[in-house]
């Protein structure tokens, strides 16, 4: 049974960086009665992520940067290894991810392949993330990357053998969910085998 929702009421709790909403609503139960519930939802917009790979070299491009939420939740250095990603803002997912690749990694790529989309934390965050893969070559490197100064980004670009990234995922050195999903996709599809 698909539940029905009625009497949706939204209160803005914070609109500082992104929007935190408190939402009360009634939801239908299987027996036909209604239950009143209250939840908070964080709306930061939708995003896109990509795993760049080189078939000849069997390498991938990842990034490393400081992530405050991981730091305050036990990551001693706060540094996180992850796939290139960014918020869509006013772009479509394909344009967004090409722009993010250039800003973060310094590569100009023309072809990206969408592989799936997923809600990353549907219990509290509205974001849907669009997942891509794309081939890169050394000749596509046009800048150092590293992110944008006005966005206070300080991103280290990592080129790693694919097998090493899999080992890092298995050992827990790579803990970022989107990156794990992309690495497992590449592994399942045997793209670099």
DSSP-assigned letters across all residues of the chain: ----EEEEEEEEEE-SSSEEEEEEEEEE-TTS-EEEEEEEEEE---EEEEEEEETTTTEEEEEEEE-HHHHTTT-SS-EEEE-EEEE-TTS-HHHHHHHHHHHHH-B-----EEEEEEESSTTTB--EEEEEEEE--GGGB-S-----GGGT---EEEEEEHHHHHHHHHHTS---HHHHHHHHHHHHHTTT-
Whether 65 and 19 map to the same domain: the answer is no
Rounded to whole angstroms, what are the CA distances from 136 to 72, 128, 132? 35, 25, 13
Residue 193 has pLDDT above 90, yes or no: no
Residue from 138, 118, 121, 137 nearest 129 by CA: 118
Torsion sign, CA atoms 153, 72, 82, 88: negative
For the domain that residue 137 is a member of, what is the CATH number? 3.90.79.10
CA angle 155–188–125, rounded 5-degree value? 50
Whether 150 and 88 map to the same domain: the answer is yes
The partner residues of 86 in beta bridges, in order of sequence, read: 48
Q: How far is CA 167 from the centre of its chain?
A: 21
**38-58 mean pLDDT:** 96
Rounded to whole angstroms, what are the CA distances from 126 to 18, 44, 45? 11, 7, 7
Whether 154 and 87 map to the same domain: the answer is yes
Whether 18 and 104 map to the same domain: the answer is no
Whether 129 and 98 map to the same domain: the answer is yes
Whether 159 and 84 map to the same domain: the answer is yes
Residue from 107, 127, 105 nearest 118 by CA: 127
Whether 32 and 79 map to the same domain: the answer is no
**pTM score of the predicted model:** 0.93
Tokens of 87: 């918020």
What is the count of structural domains for the chain?
Answer: 2
Whether 11 and 89 map to the same domain: the answer is no
Position 63 scores a pLDDT of 96
Whether 32 and 71 map to the same domain: the answer is no
Whether 81 and 122 map to the same domain: the answer is yes
Domain encompassing residue 14: 5-43
> How much of the chain, in percent, has pLDDT values that exceed 90?
88
Binned at pLDDT 50, 70 and 90, residue 37 comes out as very high
Whether 37 and 95 map to the same domain: the answer is no
**158-184 mean pLDDT:** 98
Residue 148 has pLDDT above 70, yes or no: no
Whether 112 and 137 map to the same domain: the answer is yes
Residue 9 has pLDDT above 70, yes or no: yes
């Amino acid at each position: 049974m698909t539940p029905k929702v009625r009497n949706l009421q939204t209160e803005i709790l914070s609109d500082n960086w992104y929007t935190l909403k408190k939402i009360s609503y009634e939801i239908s139960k299987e027996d036909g009665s209604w239950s009143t519930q209250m939840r908070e939802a964080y709306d930061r917009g939708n995003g896109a992520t990509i795993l760049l790979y080189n078939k000849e070299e069997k390498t991938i491009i990842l990034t490393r940067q400081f992530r405050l939420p991981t730091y305050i939740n036990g990551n001693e250095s706060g540094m996180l290894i992850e796939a290139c990603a960014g918020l869509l803002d006013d772009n479509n997912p394909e344009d967004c991810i090409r722009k993010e690749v250039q800003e973060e990694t310094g590569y100009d790529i023309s072809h990206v392949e969408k592989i799936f989309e997923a809600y990353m934390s549907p219990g509290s965050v509205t974001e849907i993330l669009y997942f891509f893969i794309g081939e890169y070559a050394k000749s596509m490197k046009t800048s150092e990357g590293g992110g944008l100064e006005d966005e206070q980004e300080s991103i280290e670009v990592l080129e790693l053998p694919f097998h090493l990234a899999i080992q890092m995922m298995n050992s827990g050195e790579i803990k970022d969910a989107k990156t794990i999903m992309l690495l497992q996709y590449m592994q399942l599809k045997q793209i670099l085998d």
